[in-house]
A and B are shown apart, each in its own frame.
Chain A
């Protein structure tokens, strides 16, 4: 592997009505922010399951942002209030089992807060940069993962593999 500069991988789970639209506004306003964050759109912050966050960590995310409408501003009236309780507890739990607090961040961003969206993404990216890659989680079952060879090399790799097994039996 070449010595590339490490770029964090960040996932943002955002609600359709406020934060997604806020992100759209950031775009329309041509605000600039780091390209590390990929957005996954859901209808409401109330519909984001904590397991999504674990899955994101499993799939190599170094940080996760969860964002929805401001309290009282929910398109569905109360989805974000339920979300707030859920995330407060989940954040505390992750902290207790030793996952750094900044790995999972939360924000309220309304449809008119394009600037805030850009600022939050910039901040989260900076925080995750400071924490470094989330190796602790990603490497948790590295013994069960392998690097796949490029397609052309398959035959050779299979031969080598056979060799190893017969070695072991000898």
Chain B
């Protein structure tokens, strides 16, 4: 076997601490190495050409590239090798940058280490076997989890491209947080007005199967071939019969038993309800916890008034199974609940602001509802406690965000903008009112964003105070906000009528559970992890699972929408061909030697291992062996390490290759 070794300087990134020419020279003397050279930028066009030329000129069978992490340029060099006629799996990368030059100072030690790393790669490549990619069929159907604006956008994009979509929403209606907003920044156009047509389009789209009041409980399989189990919770309404007349809602006697969560608990709702008038689908849900029928078996008013006999108290949760090719996760966010009750959680809360204690200390979404024309106050700015119009209002930014001591280190990104919007909406409605904003920094990056904030300050006279609020307490019907103006360097005290907290965006409580169900990683906050922060921001590390919207990190509407479209296009790329090429890193059983103990079957996380009968010439089964379904195997290799007789090998990482690496130490 003739091996070519190519050592990259990476400009100076590697060569600063690794003596690249020495590494190349050393490798030249190693058994099997036909050609060895170093170059400034191996990944550049001339660098790649150098590799291709060397392959032709020296008739190389395999190559080793000493460069950056394989996560960066493995593909580049494999492609170069392929174009010169070498199997892409006869290319090994020695990680000389991330694992060597960048982490060591001593040139001697780093060079020694680089030599060993390259030597290991050479020994491995000698044992590498040519592999071909595996083709698996693709189910051209997308599962979108979450029916907020991101989920809606993704679903519509995919459906409009002609592929089927299953859209699963946990709440009774799609729409998400966007449907709660009064106006949107920076254009101040009505949120409902732009969202509702989209919601209706989803409902009416022939390619979209909408499952509201449903949750994904199990995901099996792999890219192109997932199998999702969806729990459709009992609405107690026959969806096919209900006409959405709403008579049941108006007649329901339990009027004020439950807070209306759509109104952010600023209003009540009956036991049978639709979350909001524009809900899609416009089909009510019965809340078992408050409905009289479930309490004492009496009432049944809704049954009496429904002339379509759509009420079904006996309805049970049902499980639906769908074959899915790709998954778009768009589960969105919730607001950091700064209520004292969360003191035992990882978040520290803001007891000093009196949220939950003072009814007029509210969060951003509550203010959205107060400002909304369809909200509990019909758009008039009234404070929750006594319904009076607040004449002095204080907005506090960064409540929770950017404060590691409160459990959240990140910036929630949208609060600067929506606080400016809130202040503006307030000033537009209460012309004689005073609006104050406590801020840390104003982060208004975005088209027309900074202009929008300037408009609030300059045109609408919102008073911005740079500083933190230390305490809020009630005094004579006023809320005393004690803070500091750090620019003027003086303490500030404002007797406000209403305080609005721009609390942090955090993932839903069950985000980690969902992540584990789907099999995608998540960060310590519970936001789902993208495959690469820069280059693969909408893909999760699990192939075939894409991310959209605020479930990945805080985002505003345009960002969520663009991410949703990006995720949709990623799914559509997948669907562009009928089969899918997969990395051939899969395990294979040596059936002659398999002893049939099936420990491999017990440990396989993907259920890829099946029992195969081996028969003699008479067709009588004389032994059972393990068989690995190459389409299902994900190539973790847990079976190979568990196999006692070592009758399973993982292609690309087989035991011989790893032993060779160890030997080269």
Residues of A bordering B, CB below 8 Å: 7, 9, 11, 17, 20-21, 23-28, 30-35, 38-44, 46-50, 52, 55-56, 59-61, 72-79, 82-83, 86, 111-112, 118
Q: Which residues of chain A are near B634, meaning CB under 8 Å?
A: 76
Of A20, A38, A43, A48, the residue contacting B116 (CB under 8 A) is: A38
A21 contacts across to B, CB distance below 8 A: 71
Contact mask for chain B residues 520-558; partner A; CB cutoff 8 A; 1 contact, 0 none = 010100000100000000000110000000000000000
Contact A43 B641 (CB under 8 A): no
B110-148, CB < 8 A from A: 110, 112-113, 116-117, 120
With contacts A35-B109, A55-B659 known, is A24 near B640, CB below 8 A?
A: no
CA distance A55 to B110 in the complex (A): 24
Whole-angstrom CA separation of A25 from B521 in the bound complex: 17
**Contacts A11-B665, A82-B642; is A27 near B636 (CB within 8 Å)?**
no
Structural contact, B585 and A43, CB atoms closer than 8 A: yes
The answer to whether B103 and A30 touch across the interface, beta carbons within 8 angstroms, is: yes
Residues of chain B in range 627-665 having any CB-CB distance to chain A below 8 Å: 634-638, 640-642, 646, 650, 653, 655, 658-659, 661-663, 665
Q: Does B189 contact A (CB under 8 A)?
A: no
Docked complex Cα distance between A111 and B98 (Å): 13
Find out whether the CB atom of B637 lies under 8 angstroms from the CB atom of A43: yes
Q: Which residues on A sit within 8 Å (CB–CB) of B100? A: 27, 35
Cα(A35)–Cα(B105), bound, Å: 9
Task: Please report B residues at the A interface, Cβ cutoff 8 Å.
Answer: 69-71, 95, 97-100, 102-106, 109-110, 112-113, 116-117, 120, 512, 516, 519, 521, 523, 529, 541-542, 585, 603, 605-606, 634-638, 640-642, 646, 650, 653, 655, 658-659, 661-663, 665
Name B603's contact: one of A46, A55, A73 (CB within 8 Å). A46
- Given contact pairs A32-B103, A76-B636, A39 touches B95 in the complex (Cβ within 8 A): yes
Chain B residues whose C-beta falls within 8 Å of the C-beta of A20 in the assembled complex: 71
The contact sample of 19 A-B pairs, CB cut-off 8 A, is: A11-B662, A24-B69, A31-B103, A35-B103, A35-B104, A38-B113, A38-B116, A43-B636, A46-B638, A49-B641, A56-B662, A60-B665, A76-B606, A77-B605, A79-B605, A83-B638, A86-B641, A86-B642, A111-B521
**Given the contacts A35-B109, A40-B658, A46 and B637 also touching, CB distance less than 8 Å:** yes
Q: Known contacts being A23-B98, A38-B665, A40-B658, is A47 close to B103, with CB within 8 Å?
A: no
CB distance from B455 to the nearest CB of A (A): 39
Assembled-state Cα–Cα distance A152/B628 (Å): 52
A66, chain B: closest CB distance, angstroms:
11
Whether the pair A42, B658 counts as a contact (CB closer than 8 A) is yes
Contact B112 A43 (CB under 8 A): no
Q: A32-B104, A43-B585 are in contact. List 18 more A-B contacts (CB 8 A).
A: A24-B95, A24-B99, A40-B120, A43-B635, A43-B653, A46-B603, A46-B637, A47-B641, A47-B650, A47-B653, A50-B641, A52-B662, A59-B662, A75-B521, A76-B606, A77-B605, A83-B641, A86-B642
Q: Which residues of B contact A86 (CB under 8 A)?
A: 641-642
Report if A38-B117 is in contact (Cβ < 8 Å); known contacts: A31-B103, A73-B521: yes
Smallest CB-CB separation from A9: which chain B residue? Answer: B665
Minimum CB–CB distance from B116 to chain A (whole Å) comes to: 6
For the complex of A and B, the 5 pairs showing the least CB-CB separation, nearest first, are A47-B637, A27-B98, A46-B638, A76-B636, A44-B636
| Residues from chain A with Cβ under 8 Å of B641 in the complex | 46-50, 83, 86
What is the chain B residue whose CB lies nearest that of A50? Answer: B641
On chain A, the residues within 8 Å of B640 by CB distance are: 47, 49
Taking a contact as CB atoms under 8 Å apart, the answer to whether B663 and A47 are in contact is: no
For A38, what are the chain B residues with a Cβ–Cβ distance below 8 Å? 113, 116-117, 120, 665
Contacts of A46 in B (CB 8 A): 603, 636-638, 641-642
A49 to B641, CA, bound (A): 5
Assembled-state Cα–Cα distance A147/B637 (Å)? 37
Most chain B CB atoms below 10 A, which of A27, A33, A56, A61? A27
Contact, CB under 8 Å: A78 / B605: yes
CA distance A64 to B1 in the complex (A): 31
Task: Report chain A residues within 8 Å CB of B662.
Answer: 11, 40, 52, 55-56, 59
Question: With A and B bound together, what is the CA distance between A7 and B22 in angstroms?
Answer: 21
Known: A24-B71, A49-B641, A86-B641. A40 touches B103 (CB 8 A): no
B516 interface neighbour in A35, A59, A72, Cβ under 8 Å: A72
In the bound assembly, the distance between CA atoms of A82 and B542 in angstroms comes to: 20
In this complex, which of A20, A21, A35, A76 has the most chain B Cβ atoms within 10 angstroms of its Cβ? A35
Contacts of A60 in B (CB 8 A): 665
Tell me, rounded to whole Å, the shortest Cβ–Cβ distance linking A124 to chain B: 14
- A60 to B110: give the CA distance in the assembly, Å: 19
Q: Give the shortest distance, in Å, between A46 (CB) and chain B (any CB).
A: 3
Q: Which A residue sits closest to B98, measured CB to CB?
A: A27
Instruction: List the B side residues contacting A49 at CB < 8 Å.
Output: 640-641, 646, 655
Contacts of A43 in B (CB 8 A): 585, 635-637, 650, 653
Return the chain B residue nearest A73 by Cβ: B521
